[in-house]
């Protein structure tokens, strides 16, 4: 009878690690906390190291009976007193204006009131869950100085990675599941946790978020079974989809998933990422760019974040994420066609909107100018400076003057002509091969045909390759391999 009057209400801790904006993992963790809170009639603490915006999360998952904590700390301390030979019967305390008075009642013997110690307390939880944490080392590192929590509690590990080490007292590893929403659903079935209609809808929203409406690589046959199961529990598909769109569109979700796999941070103030050409084309159709919904904007200490999106072989869409609402990203970058290595820039905290825009424009112009110069140099080699020397027309002069002259004069002119011809022949023999050789080395298309040039196919191929402006840039966007022309989009279009 006493147990029914005072039901067991354990203190429950859920520990997870969320990278950027993983609605699936954070949402599934929150929903599991709500299910446990309903079962035990208590509240649940969720401890996660993430910058994930809770305002976005709350649009998908209502945080009822959930406490999000960013720091583990005890709200108490312990006082140890030397017992002496006393047998303690009861301890009470009185709160005064400036002190707390402890009253220790003994059955017999005495305590030594002059010998006592005060120790900071440690948070206590009866049940501790780890969700999506790779190893026990990672878990204890996240708990830090409060790692004793894990040793003192009843521990449960939940994950979807089959290779995850089984470091808890109870381990639920669903290797066939592609999302944590599916894992929570499976755990609820095993642990007989009742899933109300609202939580079923929220799980469905997380599942649709992860699988991009059941059409990307995170979709498995079990995903469709999970959807059917949630619908049987009263989940509303229309509400789930509306929840996703209330937070961010499926297209933006798709872009986020791709960006997270290719994020490049050049400094603590500038970050960039790429998406597939298919996503880029769809993003290019967006009317506005909302920095608040750009996942890069949640990075710490970032003033401006660049996102370079190759749309085609000669055009790159540049997205800008900045807390300064005065900057118009489309107006700023709409006039630039930029394909090349990573755009590196560093903004100062002191710069205002106009100064920041001016600096970005300056960097873009400088990049574009140098790139165009390189393209021009590679595509059109400079012509050879020396002029080709040819035999002058006045060489016909002796033919005009020979007939009317006397025999003596004719003999004299003939001698002079032989000397002139010899000099001109000498000039041709020296100049023509040298000029032809110079033209060959420089690649002059107008080189004189006074000397036979042996074709060099290998060098010709190299010259053609160097003249390809796009090929000379290396990988698209300078992010390494992965998005070469003809590459396959890992995530189908939304």
Q: For 152-171, how does the pLDDT look when each residue is reduced to its tens digit (9 = 90+)?
A: 999 999 999 877 668 899 99
Q: Which of 231-235, 286-290, 425-429 has the highest mean pLDDT?
A: 231-235
Q: For 429-486, how does the pLDDT look when each residue is reduced to its tens digit (9 = 90+)?
A: 444 444 444 444 434 333 333 333 344 444 444 433 333 222 222 222 222 223 333 3
- Going from the C-alpha of 202 to that of each of 67, 127, 231, 237, the distances in angstroms are 18, 24, 11, 10
pTM for this structure? 0.49
In this prediction, residue 74 has a pLDDT band, given cuts at 50, 70 and 90, of confident
Domain edges within the chain: 9-73+124-247, 77-120, 248-381+446-494, 384-430
Q: Which fold has domain 9-73+124-247?
A: inorganic pyrophosphatase (n-terminal core) (3.90.1640)
Average pLDDT over residues 368-382: 61
């Amino acid at each position: 009878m006493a147990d029914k009057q005072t039901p067991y209400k354990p203190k429950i801790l859920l520990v997870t690690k969320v990278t950027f904006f993983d609605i699936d993992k954070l949402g599934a963790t929150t929903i599991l906390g709500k299910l446990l809170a309903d079962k035990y009639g208590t509240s649940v603490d969720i401890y996660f190291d993430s910058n994930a915006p809770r305002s976005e999360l709350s649009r998908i998952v209502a945080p009822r009976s959930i406490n999000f904590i960013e720091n583990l700390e005890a709200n108490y301390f312990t006082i140890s007193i030397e017992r002496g030979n006393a047998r303690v019967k009861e301890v009470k305390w009185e709160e005064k204006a400036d002190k707390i008075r402890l009253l220790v009642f003994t059955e017999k013997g005495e305590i030594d009131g002059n010998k006592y110690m005060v120790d900071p307390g440690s948070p206590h939880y009866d049940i501790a869950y780890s969700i999506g944490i790779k190893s026990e080392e990672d878990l204890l590192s996240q708990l830090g100085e409060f790692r004793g929590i894990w040793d003192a509690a009843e521990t449960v590990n939940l994950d979807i990675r089959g290779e995850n080490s089984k470091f808890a007292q109870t381990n639920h590893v669903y290797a066939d599941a592609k999302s944590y929403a599916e894992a929570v659903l499976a755990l609820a079935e095993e642990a007989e946790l009742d899933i109300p209609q609202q939580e079923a809808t929220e799980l469905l929203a997380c599942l649709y978020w992860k699988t991009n409406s059941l059409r990307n690589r995170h979709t498995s046959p079990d995903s469709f079974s999970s959807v059917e199961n949630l619908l049987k529990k009263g989940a509303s598909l229309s509400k789930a989809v509306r929840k996703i769109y209330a937070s961010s569109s499926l297209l933006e979700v798709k872009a986020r998933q791709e960006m997270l796999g290719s994020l490049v941070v050049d400094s603590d103030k500038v970050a960039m990422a790429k998406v597939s050409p298919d996503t880029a084309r769809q993003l290019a159709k967006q009317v506005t760019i909302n920095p608040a919904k750009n996942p890069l904007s949640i990075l710490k200490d970032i003033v401006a974040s660049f996102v370079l999106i190759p749309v085609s072989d000669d055009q790159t869409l540049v997205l800008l994420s900045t807390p300064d609402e005065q900057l118009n990203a489309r107006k700023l970058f709409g006039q630039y066609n930029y394909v090349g290595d990573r755009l590196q820039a560093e903004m100062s905290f002191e710069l205002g909107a106009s100064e920041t825009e001016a600096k970005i424009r300056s960097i873009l112009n400088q990049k574009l100018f140098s790139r165009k110069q390189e393209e021009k140099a590679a595509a059109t080699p400079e012509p050879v400076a020396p002029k080709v020397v040819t035999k002058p027309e006045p060489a016909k002069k002796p033919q005009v003057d020979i007939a009317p002259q006397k025999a003596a004069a004719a003999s004299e002119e003939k001698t002079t002509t032989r000397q002139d011809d010899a000099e001109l022949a000498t000039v041709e023999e020296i100049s023509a091969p040298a000029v032809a050789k110079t033209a060959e080395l420089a690649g002059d298309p107008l080189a004189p045909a006074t000397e036979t040039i042996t074709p060099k196919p290998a060098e010709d191929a190299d010259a053609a390759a160097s003249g390809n402006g796009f090929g000379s840039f290396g990988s698209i966007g300078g992010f390494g391999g992965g998005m070469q022309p003809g590459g396959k989009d890992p995530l189908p279009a939304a």
